[in-house]
């Protein structure tokens, strides 16, 4: 149990941004723009922002389409951000002509200037910020502003093909049923190694999806998924959400029964309903990857 406790410590902290998708920590996938976006709330200069995005494998994002502008403004609103964010749009690369880092000229960008902008204050405003009202303003590149990084989507077939994940559009996730039985803890690590995570059930729909996968796989008994009983006795997902917060908490009849007093790991029956299971028992398991 001590070892498991240590592991959970790691899982809890490594999973701080987990809801955003395990392989893209801090990033949220947006179906509207088919890309991963991360809003960096800690302000940086434009140069630092660009570098930070590069280091994360992305680019400083710009509202180059209506959908992108809407998604950016919605995320700013979600974060209660009242100030503008840097975009990748600048006139450094093309003197006197604003273009995004992808090379999209301002004339093709469907977002207009805010009133009185661009005013090139102090003749020092070669970078462009996006306001919460979806308008542009020219600003000094040395300003300190929040910003978005953008990463291209993984392929819609759920990745590199190496790990056989299957896309389910009803949930927007990819799943892989692993038939080879493993302990819950090994299952957890195996999913991470496959670029996913031990499946987290976020809705009745997702429970149904898993039930259907288990039916195709002709899998009876129970299958490990990504929730567990924490030290305080609360059942929560591997990223620390209670089952209610995660969105699904329907136990199978008579469960959780804590059989033999050692059932602290999460699983589902073929019905898609939840069961507490002993952790060391090798079982098949379900991995998930969130697009
Ligand atoms: Ca200005
Ligand atoms: Ca899920
Ligand atoms: Ca049980």
Q: Which residues contact 265 (CB under 8 A, 6 or more apart)?
A: 184, 224, 228, 229, 276, 277, 278, 279
In this structure, are 112 and 235 located in the same domain? no
Same domain, yes or no, for 177 and 282? yes
19: closest CA among 274, 226, 232, 284? 226
Same domain, 137 and 230: no
Ligand closest to CA 259: 3
For the domain that residue 229 is a member of, what is the CATH number? Answer: 3.10.100.10
With beta carbons less than 8 A apart as the criterion, state whether 280 and 186 touch.
no
Quote the DSSP letter at residue 281: S
For 178, the enclosing helix (H) or strand (E) is strand 173-182
- Which ligand is nearest to the Cα of residue 126, counting in written order? 1
pTM comes to: 0.51
Tell me which DSSP letter residue 52 carries. Answer: H
DSSP character at residue 288? E
Residue 8 Cα to ligand 3 midpoint, Å, equals 21
CA distance linking residue 230 with residue 8, whole number of Å = 9
DSSP assignment string, 124-154: ---EEEE-TTS-EEEE-TTS-EEEEEEEEPP
Any domain includes 242:
yes
Same-domain status, 120 and 161: no
Burial of 147 (0-12, 13-18, 19+ CB in 10 A): buried
Tens-digit pLDDT string for the chain (291 aa): 334 444 444 343 333 332 333 344 678 878 788 888 999 999 999 989 998 888 887 899 999 999 999 999 999 999 999 999 999 999 987 777 999 988 899 999 999 999 999 999 999 999 999 999 999 999 999 999 999 999 876 555 665 555 567 777 788 788 999 999 999 999 998 888 777 789 999 999 999 999 999 999 999 999 999 999 998 999 999 988 999 999 999 999 999 999 999 999 999 999 999 999 999 999 999 999 876
Q: Which domain holds residue 116?
A: 35-152
Cα of 258 vs centre of ligand 2, distance in Å, is 24
Q: Do 214 and 159 reside in the same domain of the chain?
A: yes
Judgement on whether residues 285 and 163 belong to the same structural domain of the protein: yes
Q: How far is ligand 3, taken at its centre, from the CA of residue 269, in Å? A: 10
The reported pLDDT for the residue numbered 86 is 97
Closest-approaching ligand to the CA atom of 289: 2
Q: Clarify whether residues 284 and 180 are in a common domain.
A: yes
C-beta neighbour count of 112 within 10 angstroms = 10
Q: Choose the final residue of a domain: 128, 152, 176.
A: 152
């Amino acid at each position: 149990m001590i070892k498991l406790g240590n592991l959970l410590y790691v899982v809890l902290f490594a999973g701080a941004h987990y809801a955003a998708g395990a392989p893209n920590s801090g990033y949220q996938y947006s179906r509207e723009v088919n890309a991963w976006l991360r809003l960096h709330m800690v302000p940086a200069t434009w140069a630092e922002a660009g570098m930070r995005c590069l280091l994360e494998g992305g680019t400083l994002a710009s509202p180059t389409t209506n959908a992108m502008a809407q998604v950016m403004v919605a995320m700013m609103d979600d974060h209660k951000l009242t100030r503008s964010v840097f975009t990748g749009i600048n006139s450094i690369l093309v003197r006197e002509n604003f273009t995004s880092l992808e090379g999209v000229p301002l004339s093709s960008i469907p977002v207009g200037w805010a009133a009185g902008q661009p005013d090139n204050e102090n003749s020092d405003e070669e970078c462009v910020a996006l306001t919460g009202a979806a308008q542009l303003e020219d600003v000094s590149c040395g300003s300190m502003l929040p910003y978005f990084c953008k990463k291209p989507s993984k392929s819609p077939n759920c990745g590199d093909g190496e790990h056989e994940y299957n896309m389910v559009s009803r949930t927007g996730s990819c799943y892989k049923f692993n038939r080879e039985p493993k302990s819950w803890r090994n299952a957890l690590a195996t999913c991470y190694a496959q670029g996913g995570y031990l499946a987290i059930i976020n809705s009745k729909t997702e429970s149904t999806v898993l039930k259907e996968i288990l039916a195709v796989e002709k899998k009876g008994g129970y299958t490990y998924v990504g929730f567990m009983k924490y030290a305080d006795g609360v059942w929560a997902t591997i990223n620390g959400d209670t089952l209610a917060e995660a969105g699904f908490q329907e136990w199978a009849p008579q469960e959780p029964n804590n059989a033999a007093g050692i059932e602290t790991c999460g699983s589902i029956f073929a019905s898609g309903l939840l069961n507490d299971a002993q952790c060391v028992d090798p079982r098949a398991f379900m991995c998930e990857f969130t697009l």
